[in-house]
A and B are shown apart, each in its own frame.
With several copies, the nearest count.
Chain A
């Protein structure tokens, strides 16, 4: 319907011309294009991710929302602003490769303590996870303020209770956690699959976990071990007395 030059800046129409996809029906395509414009406007207008359910309620009936969003997402892929999925919702976010440009203006965010980050990672990778399990993984009690702080940031929430005796409360991450770290879903956490495969996301030692070969003489050092001398300890700072403040 639209030819040549100007079409290049109206890509929905453009695709219409070139589309070799199954549903080439022009009326249908136009219908979808219009729905995509609406979805674009709705998501663009909101700073928070907009759920597909909310979109479906506002778009014309009979629109395949996931498909429309996937197409929009593809369209924005290479732009300065990307359409990203956060759980079952969609949001526009500036492109990750432009971080250098954007972070100049970023308000300095409060840093999470190392302990808080560690607890956050444990909750993210092990969810749903109880406090006792976090403690088992870290080998130390989670200090009182840590979970409180993580819940306050809105990244962590109480999910429910484990159906075991004592019914301990379980923790998990929120949608705003996914949004903050640019994840579409928990499965996308970096290294998730490998960790699972290695049995390291188990709260208990998996039976297939390799047992160390008991050395013939446990006192004998293996070839890649050096005896521990006092000098080593000093080097490690283990002999240095702590300075009293």
Chain B
């Protein structure tokens, strides 16, 4: 191995030209290699070979969904983050494809697509920034300090030194030592209320308009065996979030889609709609 201390991933990143993936057809996209769904999306977006500002978000959403479908077909385990993104993209796709209904309060597909584009551009910008940063002349690698320092200039009057990090590490580790941990981690298979809550918050947290997310959520996040527990937990979690004032829900009729949105700041009026009956 020529570059033994370089993971395939670092190499992948090191030459982050947009050509890479297409010129190397053998490249296997491995979810483990990605830093989350946005990273995967960025990778797919680069394959469109256009400026991120001119990208087709619809095509991108479709590619991503195909990817997730494939992964599921091969029974690869995808982290919840990827599935949350899939649910959101499926929703975005439907918004892009279905013409806006009169009186529709929801954000348009185009608005949602713009948000996604912004996030991709911002992530890419940070990527590039990281690369430029790490390639600068660095102290201890390219430039050096005096090898035989003759004095330490003490500026603080205090003769004791300690950093906030030292302090926090000391506190956390000793409190941890004291708290006897005999807690075992529950096996997955059942959606805990906490998990469902976290997922819901991620998905709906940013949505200010009524959004029917439940179906997307279930399609992408739950395997058939998990469906029941997923429904139960996310429903219970959503009720809890409503009670705490984070979320509002609405249902047109029994068994119809559940609409959710994050609660607007002044509350009251909208709650009326949430009753359904």
Contact = CB atoms under 8 A, between A and B. Distances in A.
Interface in B48-99: 48, 50, 53-54, 56-59, 62-63, 66-67, 70-71, 74, 76, 81, 85, 96-97
B19 to A, nearest CB: 13
B160 interface: yes
Interface residues of A, number: 91
Contact of A137 (B31, B122, B150): B122
B18 interface: no
B74 A242 contact: yes
A106 interface: yes
B167 A117 contact: yes
Interface string A105-118: 11111111011011
Given A125-B171, A137-B175, A222 B56 contact: yes
B145 A195 contact: no
A211 B85 CA distance: 21
Contacts of A108: 152, 159
A219 B96 CA distance: 9
A140 B38 contact: yes
Contacts of A225: 48, 50, 56, 59
A45 B144 contact: yes
B150 A138 contact: no
B111 to A, nearest CB: 7
A103 B26 CA distance: 35
Interface of B is mostly: helix
Contacts of B179: 205-206, 209
Given A42-B153, A120-B133, A201 B172 contact: yes
Contacts of A195: 125, 129, 168, 171-172
Contacts of A93: 139, 143-145, 150
A181 B167 contact: yes
Contact of A48 (B5, B35, B148): B148
Interface of A: 41-42, 44-48, 50-51, 53-54, 91-96, 99, 102-103, 105-112, 114-115, 117-118, 120-122, 124-125, 136-141, 151-154, 157-158, 176, 179-183, 189-191, 195, 198, 200-202, 204-207, 209-212, 214-215, 218-219, 221-222, 224-225, 228, 233-243
Given A179-B139, A238-B66, 19 more contacts: A47-B148, A53-B155, A95-B143, A106-B141, A117-B170, A138-B126, A139-B38, A153-B158, A154-B165, A190-B132, A190-B133, A195-B129, A195-B168, A198-B125, A200-B122, A205-B118, A206-B181, A211-B114, A224-B50
6 contacts: A48-B148, A105-B151, A120-B170, A140-B39, A181-B164, A237-B27
Interface of B: 5, 9-10, 13, 21-22, 25-31, 35-39, 41, 44, 47-48, 50, 53-54, 56-59, 62-63, 66-67, 70-71, 74, 76, 81, 85, 96-97, 108-111, 113-115, 117-119, 121-123, 125-130, 132-134, 136-156, 158-183, 185
